[in-house]
């Protein structure tokens, strides 16, 4: 026998039993985004590698070790997208979506690819939905984006979502903070992990994310980014907090929350859930006022978020993602050879009228068809045999009540929808 294949490590099939939960998340996302005035954007699965090195930053974990990169036939370096903000901003610039300086609000639902060490809630191909609001430098826009992310988590059934908030200021103030942090950590470098020692050289702000207890103890006395903000950043941050208070969205200030990517400035935030283990971040985002210029556009302020869909599904109870509404589902049973065509026609008619319906294409016995109807959680069975054909009726059985009655074909739809 030929070798059987399995999915590549860190990737997952989403099977029919799970996909209704995915569909519910996707529908909620589409509904919310449309209601909040965001338009859907879909970008290709891969981009030129340089788009990510330039925007996300050479020293970030994503660019330095997680990208799936290859040369295509014309020797162009291509990367499967490891994040979505850069591709969406590339498309924004390419198609002049700024519409003469107006605000542009975009959202996406997409798959992305990172070569991380797989574990619970951490995959190599995973899915995010997210939103980007491009064109406003004002705190009201940060508040709207955060409120959108937070409301979505609540609507999807995440229990006790926790919003963590910080400001990392402008590029200049971050540079001053970076110098101060390196100066503070250098004498402790012997007590740092190998990874953090490397980060001290390449991306010292990432050390603030450490989960290592010893390192956290050292960081207690480290300089705080909030002390390095200038007046503009400070006012912006205060206004974001006032906006969230007005909307009744509570938050925790976490001045260690710097996020790993180069392009963030001022507001950063994360939504976590204690329903998850070590990988407890459901959603992350922030302001990225320097990115569009970095990608060759005019300086344009922007703010956005991305939420991990696999993690959300882990953080909500099974039934809250599934469609719990009892819906009509009909299985049409063939009782006798001649009834086959009528069964198929009846099924198609029900489907055309919006009723989920199915029939047997395996030539099975009536008993086996009944079992199939049960397996499919049918609410009703419709039986058509030679007798029924002759009298222009069918037998309809409500499987919840056990009630069975003879219904003329013409009245089948009315009968099913009136019960």
Instruction: Please give the residue ranges that form the binding site for ligand AMP (CB under 6 A).
Output: 83, 114, 116, 121-123, 126, 128, 281-284, 306-308, 310-311
Identity of the residue, 83 or 360, whose beta carbon is nearer to ligand AMP in the bound complex: 83
Q: Closest separation between CB of residue 63 and ligand AMP, Å?
A: 12
> For residues 204 and 182, what is the distance between their CA atoms, to the nearest angstrom?
7
CB atoms closer than 10 angstroms to residue 415: 17
DSSP 119: B
Q: Closest separation between CB of residue 123 and ligand AMP, Å?
A: 4
3-state secondary structure of 219: helix
Q: Closest separation between CB of residue 289 and ligand AMP, Å?
A: 17
Residue nearest to ligand AMP (CB): 308
Identity of the residue, 156 or 381, whose beta carbon is nearer to ligand AMP in the bound complex: 156
Kindly list the distances between the CA atom of residue 271 and the CA atoms of 158, 162, 230, 294, 316, in Å, as whole numbers in the listed order.
10, 5, 26, 27, 14
Of 418, 417, 419, 290, the closest CA to residue 354 belongs to: 417
Q: Do the Cβ atoms of 222 and 147 come closer than 8 Å?
A: no
Identity of the residue, 66 or 395, whose beta carbon is nearer to ligand AMP in the bound complex: 66
Q: Closest separation between CB of residue 229 and ligand AMP, Å?
A: 22
Q: Do the Cβ atoms of 323 and 296 come closer than 8 Å?
A: no
Q: Closest separation between CB of residue 314 and ligand AMP, Å?
A: 9
Identity of the residue, 185 or 258, whose beta carbon is nearer to ligand AMP in the bound complex: 258
Identity of the residue, 1 or 7, whose beta carbon is nearer to ligand AMP in the bound complex: 7
Q: Closest separation between CB of residue 130 and ligand AMP, Å?
A: 8
CB atoms closer than 10 angstroms to residue 99: 9
Identity of the residue, 114 or 287, whose beta carbon is nearer to ligand AMP in the bound complex: 114
Give the DSSP letter string of 231-284.
HHHHHHHHHHHHHHHHTT---EE-TT---S-TT-EEEEEEEE-TTSSS--EEEE
């Amino acid at each position: 026998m030929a070798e059987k294949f399995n999915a590549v490590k860190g990737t997952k099939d989403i099977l029919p039993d799970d996909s209704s939960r995915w569909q519910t998340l996707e529908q909620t996302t589409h509904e919310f985004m449309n209601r909040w005035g965001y338009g859907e954007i879909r970008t290709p699965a891969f981009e030129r590698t340089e788009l990510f090195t330039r925007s996300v930053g050479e020293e970030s974990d994503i660019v330095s070790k997680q990208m799936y990169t290859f040369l295509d036939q014309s020797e162009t370096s291509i990367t499967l997208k490891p994040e979505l903000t850069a591709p969406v901003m590339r498309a924004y610039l390419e198609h002049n979506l700024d519409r003469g300086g107006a605000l542009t609000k975009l959202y996406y639902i997409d798959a992305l690819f990172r070569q991380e060490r797989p574990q619970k809630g951490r995959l190599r191909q995973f899915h995010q939905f997210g939103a980007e609001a491009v064109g406003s430098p004002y705190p009201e826009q940060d508040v709207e984006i955060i409120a959108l992310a937070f409301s979505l988590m609540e609507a999807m059934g995440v229990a006790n979502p926790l919003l963590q908030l910080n400001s990392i200021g402008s590029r200049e103030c971050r540079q001053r903070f970076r110098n101060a942090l390196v100066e503070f950590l250098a004498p402790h470098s012997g007590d740092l992990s190998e990874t953090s020692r490397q980060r001290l050289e390449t991306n010292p702000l990432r050390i603030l994310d450490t989960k290592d207890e010893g390192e956290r103890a050292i960081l207690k006395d480290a300089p705080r980014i909030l002390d390095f903000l200038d007046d503009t950043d400070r006012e912006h941050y205060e206004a974001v907090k006032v906006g969230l208070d007005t909307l009744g969205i509570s938050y925790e200030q976490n001045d260690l929350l710097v996020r790993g990517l180069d392009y963030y400035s001022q507001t950063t935030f994360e939504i976590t859930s204690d329903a998850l283990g070590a990988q407890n971040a459901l959603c992350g985002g922030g302001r990225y006022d320097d990115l569009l210029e970095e990608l060759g556009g005019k300086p344009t302020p922007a703010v956005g978020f991305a939420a991990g869909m696999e993690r959300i599904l882990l953080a909500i109870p099974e039934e809250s993602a599934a469609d719990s509404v009892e819906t009509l589902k009909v299985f049409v049973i063939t009782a006798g050879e001649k009834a086959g065509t009528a069964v198929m026609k009846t099924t198609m008619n029900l489907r055309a009228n919006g009723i989920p319906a199915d029939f047997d294409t395996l030539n099975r016995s009536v008993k086996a068809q009944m079992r199939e109807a049960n397996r499919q959680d049918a609410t009703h069975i419709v039986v058509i045999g030679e007798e029924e054909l002759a009298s222009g009726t069918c037998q309809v059985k409500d499987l919840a009540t056990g009630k069975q009655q003879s219904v003329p074909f013409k009245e089948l739809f009315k009968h099913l929808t009136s019960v």
